[in-house]
A and B are shown apart, each in its own frame.
Chain A
Amino acid sequence: MRGEVKSFTDQFALRVFPANPYSRKIKVEVKVYDENFAPVDAAIMPQWAVLAPEDNRSVMVLVPFEGKSERRVRICAESVPFENKATRLRTQVCGRFFAQRVR
């Protein structure tokens, strides 16, 4: 998924909605990466949540421009539904966002 954001301040905000497709509760974590999948220091509220089956919740993400006039980030919802297995599959659903600072 793609999105564009314009902001008048030195940071921009996005709201994402991670959902639980399983029939049991899972822990979901939201992370922000740059275009090369390096972690970005962003404010994520809440960073993780336990979701009931078929539930979803909104997560607010605030990303600083860090002095740049535009920024490309990936916001990813990650889950680890199965523990204690030899090969664990972590699912990661990411959206790519392009933000511009309007001066």
Chain B
Amino acid sequence: MRQVTSSVIAMSALALSSQAALSATANVPFTSVVTATCVLTVGTPGVMAANTDFTSLSSTSAGGVSGTVSALSTGTTFKVSAIAPTTFQTAPAGGGTSVDFSSVYRATGATTIGTTPGATMTTLNSGSTNIVVDLAAVKSSGTFDAGAYSAEVIVRCE
């Protein structure tokens, strides 16, 4: 009887040690550092359309298209703005004189922003924000002559 008990104990011990080998584990540490970053990605450039009396070119006029930009922020210290140009990049002769530019933007997503003047800086929440930018060019005297016009809005994240 004593012998039988001994052998059972020995078998149990073997089985246990075998199980321990199969379930051996080790912890492998992984680390990562995400820097505070702002990523701006242009979705669509805008199109300015003329009003009926050709004194204004605007992306909010009929036929105009707003520009879109995606802003991805990994921090909460970044501020966004949409700076209007002071001149056209391209314009027919005389087309760029007596023109006032103004830009506005609004946003949805991680940060919700109502229609805001372009020069105003708005703090971004962490995450992805979809920004819609509008640009208007208004002639203070005269009308826009026929030709191709282009202007550049600077969407800034800092």
Interface residues of A (CB under 8 A from B): 1-2, 19, 21-22, 74, 76, 78, 80-82, 84-96
Contact = CB atoms under 8 A, between A and B. Distances in A.
Given A21-B41, A95-B158, A89 B75 contact: no
25 contacts: A1-B37, A1-B75, A1-B158, A2-B77, A21-B39, A74-B158, A78-B154, A85-B45, A85-B46, A85-B47, A85-B150, A86-B47, A86-B148, A86-B149, A86-B151, A87-B59, A88-B150, A89-B46, A89-B67, A89-B133, A89-B155, A91-B41, A91-B69, A93-B39, A93-B40
B36 interface: yes
A95 B40 CA distance: 14
Contacts of A90: 152-155
Interface of B: 36-42, 45-48, 59, 67, 69, 72, 75, 77-78, 89, 133, 135, 148-158
A65 to B, nearest CB: 22
Interface class of chain A by DSSP: strand
A97 to B, nearest CB: 11
Nearest to A2: B77
Nearest to B41: A21
Contacts, number: 91
B42 A81 contact: yes
Contact of A93 (B46, B135, B150, B157): B157
B158 A88 contact: no
B42 A82 contact: yes
Contacts of A74: 158
Contacts of B153: 87-90
A85 B150 CA distance: 6
A58 to B, nearest CB: 14
Contacts of B89: 88
A84 B154 CA distance: 16
A92 to B, nearest CB: 5
Contact of A89 (B39, B45, B157): B45
B38 A88 contact: no
Contact of B154 (A2, A81, A86, A92): A92
B41 to A, nearest CB: 5
